[in-house]
Chain A
Amino acid sequence: MDLYQSTVDYLLDFPIFGEWRDMELILRRAASERPRDWELPIILCQAFGVSPKKAIPASAALACGQISIILVDDMLDNDPRGEYHHIGHGSAANFALAFQAAGVDSILGSRSSSKVRREAANSLNQMMYRTAFGQELDVKNPNDEISYWRVVENKSAPFYGCAFQLGALFGEAPTETSDSLKRLGGLYGEMIQIHDDLNDTMAEPANPDWLQKRKTLPILFAQTVGHAERENFVRLCQNITSADALQEAQAILIRCGAISYCIDRLLHRHQAAQAILDKITLPSKGTVDSLIDKLVAPVYKLFETLGLQPQRDVTASAAVSQAR
């Protein structure tokens, strides 16, 4: 089964796609990028021993939610790839509304039980609420750590929490288990956010986050913590379009412990995720374990490459550090 083709085929059965052909074009374009997030409900559903076909409405709902969010997010971020450059802000907003509604339709039009449809529609709806709130918080560019995590909890975590929960619901998981998997997905989303922050700040040339003076976690750390190079870092940030300034600022991020801090936060979330997984009984747990482990595998490879502590010691110490 090709998940992306199946998702498109499923959605095209809904009349609005026939009537509004540009919706079909946007959907097909999104599917052609084969977004790996669309796979998450399938993977979670399979973990309950249920056929992936049964989770197609869940993947379709998530896909519609994601397209809707991207249409708006690109406008907020002035992203050069944004659809609004071609069709205008008003039309982009209209498509965003339509895809949000299509997501709910995708669930309500499925052949699942009324309980599954009700709970899944609620999950999608709560995710869209939270994400809109998180986007609004993010527009205000948080400048302290508490505000930073508040944005992450509202902007990044709900999408992945919903992705996990939808898969569990379509896999006929008990409510308690699907709620646990929603929390697990939320942590997964936070871990992806940390990855994203690391990538953005260490990329060359300067990522838009630098140029728009957005505070990713490493930048926030370097600007906040009382380290010896803080003043120099703040000064370099004012002239970050210069390649020399960017390289020096990135070197400071490493020296002052900002990158180490991101890795620390990543490992803590991995441990919290593992604790949730340990308490859940799943017929096929390996696939979910593997999803979570993939996000920390680079960290352990990094430790190994630098000739540092073996995985088990590091993890055990992280638990001690977290408990403090």
Chain B
Amino acid sequence: MDKMQSFYDSLFQFETPYLKALAAITRGDRKQLSALLSDLGWQSWGEQSQRTGVIG
């Protein structure tokens, strides 16, 4: 089975604290999550790496 499907199948089984944490992200609000990613520096990394041209 491929990794993505396998991950999806186990994500909502909540077997471990790790999967519980990742599953909790699926209940996040879109605006909040986007803003959070931006605040946490994700946007700046994205812009920088995008401009390298090696990425994206």
By a beta-carbon cutoff of 8 Å, the part of chain A in contact with chain B is: 33, 35-37, 66, 69-70, 72-74, 77, 79, 81, 131, 144-146, 155-156, 159-160, 189, 192-193, 195-200, 202-204, 209, 220-221, 224-227, 247, 250-251, 254-257, 259-261, 263-264, 295, 297-298, 301-303, 305-306, 308-309, 313-314, 316-318, 320-321
**Once bound together, how far apart are the Cα atoms of A195 and B47, in whole Å?**
10
By a beta-carbon cutoff of 8 Å, the part of chain B in contact with chain A is: 2-5, 7-8, 11-12, 16-28, 30, 33-34, 36-37, 40-43, 45-56
Do the beta carbons of B43 and A199 come within 8 Å of each other?
Answer: yes
Is the contact region of chain A dominated by helix, strand, or loop, or is it mixed?
helix
Do the beta carbons of A256 and B17 come within 8 Å of each other?
Answer: no
- Closest chain B residue, CB of each to CB of A227: B8
Instruction: Identify which of A199, A203, A220 contacts B45 (C-beta below 8 A).
Output: A199
**Once bound together, how far apart are the Cα atoms of A160 and B53, in whole Å?**
12
Do the beta carbons of A221 and B4 come within 8 Å of each other?
Answer: yes
Q: Which residues of B sit under 8 angstroms from A200, Cβ to Cβ?
A: 46, 50, 56
Do the beta carbons of A195 and B53 come within 8 Å of each other?
Answer: no
CB distance from A104 to the nearest CB of B (A): 18
Q: Which residues of A sit under 8 angstroms from B8, Cβ to Cβ?
A: 221, 225-227, 256-257, 261
CB distance from B54 to the nearest CB of A (A): 4
The contact sample of 21 A-B pairs, CB cut-off 8 A, is A35-B52, A73-B54, A81-B51, A159-B52, A160-B54, A195-B46, A195-B49, A196-B55, A196-B56, A200-B50, A202-B37, A204-B34, A247-B30, A256-B26, A302-B40, A306-B21, A309-B21, A313-B17, A317-B16, A321-B18, A321-B19
